[in-house]
A = this chain, B = another copy of it.
Amino acid sequence: MTAADGRVPVDVTPARSTDAIFAARRAHLGPSLSLSYRTPLHIVRGEGAYLFGADGRSYLDCVNNVAHVGHAHPRVVEAGVAQMRLLNTNTRYLHEHVVQYAERLTALLPDHLEVCYFTNSGSEANELALRLARAATGRPDVATVDVAYHGNTQRLIEISPYKFNGPGGAGRPDDVHVVPLPDRYRGPHRGEGPGVSAAYLADADLVLDTSVGSGRPAGAVIAEAIPSVAGQIVPPDGWLAGLFEAARRVGAVAIADEVQVGFGRVGIATWAFAAQGATPDIVTMGKPIGNGHPLGAVVTTRAIAGAFANGMEYFNTFGGNPVSAAIGLAVLDVIADEDLQDHARVTGELLLDGLRAVARHHAPIGDVRGQGLFVGVELVRDRDTREPDASLASELVNRAAERGVLLSTDGPDHNVIKIKPPLVFSAADADRLVETVDVVLTEIAAG
């Protein structure tokens, strides 16, 4: 077997068996970390949109938006390799990679977003965004969208309803204000009409005004343009732009969390907030930014950066190092040179069309929604009551994995099939995914 690029693959035979790895994992990894799929997968290699198991099987990866330009993309890997062999040190010295990367990132953003900070993850980026907003406004309170997840630190759990209202959660803290999720399928305001966005925005205004009236005004409003763990929720037109305007109306800073959805995934724009005509004061980035390398970024205005520069240093030991910056630059190059943003647009349309066609034959598919290669399929027990069907979602995901197609579930009811593949996902891959969903749902329906 020779890889597509002519490289001779190295031996990837693991030193121990899948069972032995499973046992060692139970012995020494934290029990708060679960494995995907009923029969966990032992993956040893990745290439493009495919993962390869220790058993020799291949899997179409429809869910890993981190491997943005494709697993083990040679250009990204070799950019990292070359820099690792030369130098990997901190940003207390001058180095051209980090400044070039800052220039390239800001060039992709609206002009007013011109100052960059580099971190090692989306969690670190969102943490820093909250600190920036607090410095700029003097207000510690945060407004967040219901069912959102923004990261794994203490403060980010506190602003993530998906976590604080979920298992083990401690409930909403007093300094966090929750704006309703603009879910047109299941939320209080439904459908495609022009009044839906206004209705959700009126709810948001009420929450923000109440925060001000109660003497706990929100200093930041944070939102994903397409709320992800909430179930791949595509908001009604104008919602995100209106939410960010409402934030500024009450003196808060608007933070666009692009950790899941940025870097061309939505197809019609580099950033999902831009696709919705919204104007943030701070943008945070993670997951796809380094194609798997630990990297995150925050970009903001000169005014906010100036307020944060109050005498306290912000130093991030690894953030913005020459290796991370070289990898980040290579990801931007590949997106541009392989035209992946437009590819996401075209392939995403094919995928949505295919899934909607399948939905016509399968009553349990209550909704198909998405933008570019960020798609959700909501499964229900009854199309009228819209009762969520988490067990069907789980069964679909597990049977698809057995057929070599990797999906996952999300949403507060765990009934939404989450689809967010590497952007190199082809039209044929989309066809295969659609066909697999069709076949598995038919098989399950047959009992």
Give the B-binding residues of A (Cβ under 8 A).
10, 12, 14-16, 18, 21-22, 24-25, 27-36, 40-46, 51, 64, 66-67, 71-72, 74, 77, 80-82, 84-96, 98-100, 102-103, 106, 114-117, 120-124, 127-128, 130-131, 134, 152-155, 157, 163, 166-169, 286-287, 291-295, 305-306, 308-321, 323-324
- Asked if B168 and A94 make an inter-chain contact with CB atoms under 8 angstroms apart, the answer reads no
B312 near A94: Cβ-Cβ < 8 Å: no
Q: Is the CB of A30 within 8 A of B120?
A: no
A36 CA / B100 CA spacing, docked (Å): 20
Given contacts A32-B308, A35-B92, A86-B45, contact A154 B130 (CB under 8 A): yes
Contact of B124 with A121 in the complex, beta carbons under 8 Å: yes
User: Nearest residue in B to A107 (C-beta to C-beta)?
Assistant: B28
Decide if B94 touches A41 in the complex (CB within 8 Å): yes
The answer on a CB contact under 8 Å between B166 and A94 is: no
A364 to chain B minimum Cβ distance, whole angstroms, is 25
**Cα of A88 to Cα of B72 in the assembled complex, Å:** 7
Q: 29 A-B pairs, CB-CB below 8 angstroms? A: A14-B96, A25-B99, A28-B106, A28-B115, A28-B116, A29-B91, A29-B98, A29-B102, A29-B115, A29-B320, A31-B305, A35-B92, A43-B89, A43-B93, A45-B86, A46-B87, A46-B88, A66-B317, A67-B88, A72-B84, A72-B88, A120-B120, A120-B294, A121-B121, A124-B153, A131-B154, A153-B155, A154-B154, A294-B319
Query: Could you say which residues of chain B place their CB within 8 Å of the CB of A163?
Result: 312
How many Å lie between the Cα of A289 and that of B343 in the bound state? Answer: 39
Number of copies of this chain that the complex holds: 2
Evaluate contact between B84 and A28: CB separation under 8 angstroms. no
The distance in angstroms between the C-alpha atoms of A318 and B292, with both chains bound, is: 7
How far, in Å, is A98 (CB) from chain B's closest CB? 7
- 13 further interface pairs, Cβ-Cβ under 8 Å (given A51-B89, A166-B312): A10-B85, A27-B114, A28-B115, A33-B117, A44-B87, A66-B89, A71-B88, A72-B86, A72-B88, A152-B314, A153-B155, A154-B155, A293-B294
In chain B, what residue has the closest Cβ to A320?
B29
Nearest CB in chain B to that of A126: its residue? B153
Query: How many angstroms from the CA of A294 to the CA of B89 in the assembled complex?
Result: 11
> Which of A80, A82, A106, A154 neighbours the largest number of chain B CB atoms within 10 Å of its CB?
A154
Please tell me if the beta carbons of B94 and A25 are within 8 angstroms of each other in the complex.
yes
Q: Which 5 A-B pairs have the closest CB atoms?
A: A167-B311, A168-B312, A168-B310, A28-B102, A88-B292
Known: A89-B292, A305-B31. Contact between A316 and B43, CB under 8 A?
no
* B127 adjacent to A153 (CB under 8 Å): yes
Q: How far is the CA of A327 from the CA of B324 in the complex (A)?
A: 15
- Of all chain B residues, which has the CB nearest A104? B28
Cα A64 to Cα B309 in complex, Å, equals: 25
Contacts of A134 in B (CB 8 A): 154
Known A64-B90, A71-B89; judge A96-B16 contact (CB<8 A).
yes
Partner of A28, one of B82, B103, B122: B103
Measured in the bound complex, the distance between the Cα atoms of B120 and A121 in whole Å is 7
